[in-house]
Copies of this chain bind each other. A is one copy, B any other.
Amino acid sequence: MARDTEKRRAELRERLIDIAEAQIQEHGSASLRARALAEEAGCAVGAIYNVFTDMPGLQLAVNGRTFARLGARVTDAVAERADAPPVERLILMAKGYLAFAVENPKLWRALFEVEMTSDSEVPEWYMRDLSQLFAIIAGPLSELDPNATEDEIELRTRALFSSVHGIVLLGLERRISGVPIPRMESMIDYLLRSFASGN
């Protein structure tokens, strides 16, 4: 019965992702342990390698979920105010991004802590979700400057996303700075309003 095994595997897969997600959420991605995972999932250590290529592969699966939730959060942030001016929509999205990172600090950090030595290719969903996120940002930017070329919009999108990401990243880095959240929101306001008025 290939059906049966396939189903059991799929269930184990989901269960492992659930457990790993909870673990990362609580103690960070560096705290993931194959043995602990197996014990909590009630399976053998080797079983993990039946459904994932390796531990980074499991991490990537968790990141897939996180990425989807992050994308939804950014989208939702503007959904009810689709009629707002472009700048305001950009600010709403950026603050949605910030809010998600603040509410899920460890899961959010885990997105950028995947083992890069893993020779596995970047999953297709990664690139897909990222360009989708970029597309959402590009909209308001095009409205702000309808004469800009597509190439120029792509550049600005990337610059803007990277900037907001940098503000959130360093702001959450308690060890360096420990910036209060309202201050980070002020930075985002300042950044995006400058962006808008500069063109």
Whether A81 sits at the interface, judged by CB under 8 Å, is no
Whether A12 sits at the interface, judged by CB under 8 Å, is no
Partner pick for A171 among B162, B177, B186, CB 8 A cutoff: B162
Partner pick for A158 among B155, B179, B193, B196, CB 8 A cutoff: B179
User: Which chain B residue shows the least CB distance to A151?
Assistant: B183
Q: How far is the CB of A78 from chain B (nearest CB, A)?
A: 21
Residues of B within 8 A of A171 (CB): 162
Partner pick for A183 among B117, B155, B188, CB 8 A cutoff: B155
A61 to B167, CA, bound (A): 26
Contact present for B159 and A169 (CB under 8 Å): no
Q: Given contacts A30-B117, A130-B176, A167-B166, are A159 and B191 in contact (CB under 8 A)?
A: yes
Whether A149 sits at the interface, judged by CB under 8 Å, is no
Whether A3 sits at the interface, judged by CB under 8 Å, is no
Q: Given contacts A164-B166, A167-B166, are A158 and B177 in contact (CB under 8 A)?
A: yes
Q: How far is the CB of A84 from chain B (nearest CB, A)?
A: 19
Q: How far is the CB of A187 from chain B (nearest CB, A)?
A: 4
Number of interface residues of A (CB under 8 A): 37
A166 to B191, CA, bound (A): 13
Partner pick for A170 among B162, B191, B196, CB 8 A cutoff: B162
Whether A147 sits at the interface, judged by CB under 8 Å, is no
Whether A116 sits at the interface, judged by CB under 8 Å, is yes
A186 to B158, CA, bound (A): 11
Nearest first, the 8 closest Cβ-Cβ pairs linking A and B are A166-B166, A194-B198, A163-B163, A159-B187, A162-B166, A162-B167, A197-B198, A162-B170
